[in-house]
Structure 1
């Protein structure tokens, strides 16, 4: 029979990259923690970690087993909560990855509200525009625009009808004027985003009958979507952003939507996890919380679908 405390030692060691650090956090002696890890490996019949005097890394078996160990521990916690009086009283640590711009400027206050509703919950938030490796990184779920390329991942819709929109600040438009067609974007400074080394410089739209594409250029490129948004706010150029990222800026008059008769690229927002076993009560409640708040912003969108 596997022991939950042995699983705790393994999971925390993998996350911290150190058996001694895991032992300190669990208030165990290094010898007891090492014995727990060895006991687990014997019961599973495989090596989970390769240890030396200077380093520690997961074996292939350890990487494959880690998400299952996390899921098992979470299931035990939720069972205890159910017996204690209801699943709504969630606790523990929820590890979430999110895009930089959406995370900093939209998500943070929503997470503050979520923790006020669930004060026993701790959050570990990782902000990055690159896709989190849900099999290797200590992340339970990731908020991402678009569907995952890996079909083995599980995607839960948060804002299915979200799209990109073209916009610029009133200051920029006062100096350079507003483009009256996609072709006129060639005369404007377009602020571009780069992901995985690829610059997003062909902006796609639809007029309801056909797909349209416009090559753009400009004097600024960043791999941080929040930086691109900040450039737009300070009047540096035209930007093509997810509506959820800039909805509040449009509401406050800091940005103006351009060519609203055109539909921008779909940018559905999803919660993504590696296994259905990770879809516990914490993730379900978080998703409900995010869906409600995204719906408010989507009602203000300049597009109908």
Structure 2
């Protein structure tokens, strides 16, 4: 990923999300977003002494220009060019060039959000909340068929206890279940964490060609999809494992959520045991309570 410092008279800004495969128009839009200088009147310079870049071909890739990660780009407004708003008004037709964006598709927080989210992305954008029991049963079947691989040391409970537990509709899925589903669907499942702004790639080294993405806030999972705003075009949920740009966009989405505090601190959030109504704080107390009492049905307060 390119990390560029965009310098103007008003200060400097660090640009994320651009790669050498990004096009010139993406760079111009990012500069406009950070500086307020419209794309049409930008003069972008690099190096010392600064030399102006010829960025007239908006489809050209940044790899074709003398720009390296960490470079400082100097941006000025070309005064001799009219700003877009100063030009004669032209009647516009429908905007046919709206770029697709990566977005969160919210699913219900019903203890089965992981299963609903995985099903949504691997099936190409099919939302079916009734899929959860079938997916829970699938996981139980896979686990029970291989007790050596799925031992008590791996599962945290005996193989039989786990299979009974995962079939219940009030239990939550996590890393174990994502790993199993990655193998079953033969695709890389990337989970982007909004608290730590990192991505965990399940099936990364398995040689899969397909990649799907989920976003996770410490408790809840949602699927990620590429969509065209205001369009009826079906969203894209399956990507190539060679598409690193989509991972960069997912991390940007997670970072934005983190800055807006859209995550749950699993070490501090308040829980209540739905069996005995005991109040608990964080995962650690919940695990200890479950170990002491056998109660595993918790609700967030």
Taking structure 1 as the reference length, the TM-score comes to: 0.25
Return the structure number with greater relative CO, CA threshold 8 A, min gap 6: 1
Question: More helix per residue: 1 or 2?
Answer: 1
